[in-house]
Amino acid sequence: MIAKLQCVVLDCADTVELSRFYRSLLGGVVNQPDPRWSCDDRWATLHTDGLVLAFQRVDDHQPPAWPDPARPQQFHLDLGVEDLERAQREVLGRGATLLDKGAGKRSWRVFADPAGHPFCLVQD
């Protein structure tokens, strides 16, 4: 092993808004003290069970335009859920946008967070 993952960083316009959105989905603590970085108006963190997401403010943030390859998703998160329909209602109610309008009967659906980053809900 050469390295271990410290956190996943998401570019966004509003670090506090996006960290709170993901806390509402995953639980955890926003801006928990951590000697690896300092939190301010340009950087926020969400410590969850074994994973840290970081949110970095980018001036003039241009969100991905899934599935347009001119502005690719760059990364995404797969989030396991027990009840896909219920989870969809909950994430939409917290500000997510459904991107995958033709999901049909698949066991996963594609959404965008409030800053436009794609993520998937996957039926466990």
Pairwise pLDDT comparison (20 vs 37), residue with the higher score: 20
Alpha helices in the chain (DSSP H): 15-26, 84-93
Residue 66 in domain: no
pLDDT bracket for residue 102 (50, 70, 90): low
Residue 69 in domain: no
Instruction: From residue 84, give the alpha-carbon distance in Å to each of 22, 38, 51, 95.
Output: 17, 36, 23, 17
For residues 119 and 82, membership in a common domain is answered with yes
Residue 68 in domain: no
Residue 119 in domain: yes
Q: Does the pTM exceed 0.85?
A: no
Distance, CA of 112 to CA of 91 (rounded, Å)? 10
Range of the domain at 15: 8-57
Kindly state the helix (H) or strand (E) to which residue 34 belongs, with its residue range: none
Residue 3 in domain: no
| β 77-81/97-98 pair status | unpaired
Q: In the predicted model, is pLDDT for residue 49 greater than 80?
A: yes
Distance, CA of 102 to CA of 99 (rounded, Å)? 9
Pick the closest to residue 108 from 122, 97, 96 (CA basis).
122
Residue 40 confidence (pLDDT): 92
- Mean pLDDT within 27-33: 96
Total structural domains in the chain? 2
Residue 71 in domain: no
Residue 62 in domain: no
Pick the closest to residue 83 from 45, 123, 116, 54 (CA basis).
123
For residues 15 and 46, membership in a common domain is answered with yes
For residues 53 and 23, membership in a common domain is answered with yes
